[in-house]
């Protein structure tokens, strides 16, 4: 009986442990000549498409370690996407859950 109680306490203590902190953070910064190297090291590439400066990011396709998806947008478009995503997350946090029992 003591072993069972000790095992349950150990399991509950393990479940209560905090999740590890993320190893990286995402921070929106303006791209300029002073931080261009940091942007490139962060996984972005700068592309000039007919005089239009695009910032491109390549990411692994969901479910694949080989296929990549590349997204290229202007700095303004990346900013707009970040703002829209933040608004969506805020909206999801404040929306009411569906009624129970139906």
Give the domain ranges of the chain.
27-93
Centre a 10 Å sphere on the Cβ of residue 83 and count the other Cβ atoms it contains: 11
Q: Global pTM?
A: 0.53
Angstrom distance (rounded) from CA 70 to CA 79: 17
The 8-class DSSP code of residue 19 comes to P
Reported as a single tens digit per residue, the pLDDT across 52-86 is 888 888 888 888 888 988 899 988 998 899 999 99
The CA–CA distances, whole Å, from 32 to 11, 35, 72, 79, 83 equal 51, 6, 17, 15, 21
Output phi, psi for 41, to 5 deg.
-65, -25
Residue predicted with more confidence, 97 or 19 = 97
């Amino acid at each position: 009986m003591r072993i069972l109680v000790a095992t349950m306490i150990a399991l509950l203590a393990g479940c209560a442990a905090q999740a590890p902190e993320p190893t990286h953070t995402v921070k929106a910064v303006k791209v300029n000549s002073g931080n261009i190297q940091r942007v490139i090291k962060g996984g972005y590439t700068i592309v000039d498409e007919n005089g239009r400066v695009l910032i491109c990011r390549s990411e692994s396709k969901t479910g694949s370690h080989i296929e990549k998806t590349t997204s290229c947008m202007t700095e303004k478009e990346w900013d707009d996407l970040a703002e829209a995503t933040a608004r969506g997350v805020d909206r999801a946090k404040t929306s009411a859950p569906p009624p129970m029992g139906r």
